[in-house]
Chains A and B, each alone.
Chain A
């Protein structure tokens, strides 16, 4: 008999949970900012062509082989990394191994890689699954130094 009362007690306790506030939140219409992006989130890569020195450290650090160094044609930097976004496992070891002061390859907070989802309209972000260097390579300090040296030699 006390078994029946115990079961009834559990049933009422569960039914009373319906009166307390819910744990889920409406997304994304009511409050689109509820999905907070944290700073350390490991999303799509950003390769900075203006600070990379072409040292091949990120290619050696990648455990999977998703980074390939593509030659630039200049003397310094000799090559710059491109990342195969399909193979990458987003571990962040390439970011740790970059020796420049402000990292030339780092993982941003962006988790939209292939398409940007805005309701029904899907806007494609990239054409193929590679993350390429971004920025103007002629502003790279190494390139500027080499160009100045060459101009001085020609000027002489």
Chain B
């Protein structure tokens, strides 16, 4: 019954419905955990402990009218968000939740994921361009700024892991994970954490969607279903990158008593909490300061990390 198994995996778990649940869950968790740090309650009334608040919000967004700018190209305007969602879902197919719980597993997992992720800034620039309005245009150009500063440390830190373990396949990397592997890759872990915040437009690097300066960046003109797909693509990008961090640096589904996927979600929650705590406490930095930070600090550190791993692997 290979057909049924593949259909189940593609549509339900780790497939489309699971990804939609991930969007609901991360949106809810972000509001609740950041509210704890603010000293307030967060969503409370809709459902027990406010769990259904995101459901209410998303169904409200689906009812809104889709407004297209007078001079914008109508077909492209509606196609671009769907395309962004599609590209991110492709990357989500490679994540291993347990030893046998994955959709695709090839000998070149890591490189394919990184290559697919590098296509997203171009789609966001196109989303800003096609809106034919000034604020989205500025937001789209700023995404290129994120691209030239954040992608290179991401690649270098990610590939250094493959260098140490000797393979690109995710499941094998997790199988070969042990304490020495964790300690050796520590510098790469820190660089990768900073790099996923830059690539996914999370605070303090959320320059393309800076609400106080350019109203909402490249998402300004999108309403209704288009906004949902584009913002959903951004949420999924964070999920995919966090899952990659857990798989490469924290040992994926390995752990003592509980089943594998429980450990995976616990480690994922830890990475998410770190991202939320950084969001609640650090102001946004400026464009040129970001480029200075990555090219003067992160890239040399990543290159030194590769040299160190090559030396250590020699012993």
Contacts and interface: CB of A to CB of B under 8 A. Distances in A.
Interface of A: 7, 10-15, 17-18, 20, 22-24, 26
B44 A26 contact: yes
Contacts of B280: 14-15
B40 A14 contact: no
A12 B281 CA distance: 9
A18 B40 contact: no
8 contacts: A7-B282, A15-B277, A17-B36, A17-B37, A18-B36, A22-B41, A23-B39, A24-B39
Contacts of B278: 11
Contact of A24 (B40, B273, B281): B40
B302 to A, nearest CB: 15
A8 B196 CA distance: 17
Contact of A23 (B40, B281, B282): B40
B41 A15 contact: no
B37 A14 contact: yes
B271 interface: no
Contacts of B61: none
A18 B32 CA distance: 11
Contact of B39 (A7, A17, A26): A17
Interface in B242-294: 273, 277-278, 280-282
Given A11-B277, A26-B44, A18 B37 contact: yes
Size class of the contact patch on chain B: 10 to 19
A12 B273 CA distance: 11
Interface in B36-57: 36-41, 44
Interface centre among A7, A18, A22, A23 (most CB of B within 10 A): A18
A10 B37 contact: no
Nearest to A16: B37
B93 interface: no
A12 B36 CA distance: 14
Given A10-B282, A18-B37, 7 more contacts: A11-B282, A14-B37, A14-B281, A15-B37, A17-B38, A22-B39, A24-B39
B22 interface: no
B231 interface: no
A26 B37 contact: no
Residue of B44, B277, B282 most packed against chain A (CB within 10 A): B277
The list of the 3 closest CB pairs from A to B, nearest first, reads: A14-B281, A18-B36, A15-B277
A61 B44 CA distance: 47
Contacts of A15: 37, 273, 277, 280-281
Contacts of A11: 277-278, 281-282
Nearest to A18: B36
Contacts of A14: 37, 277, 280-281
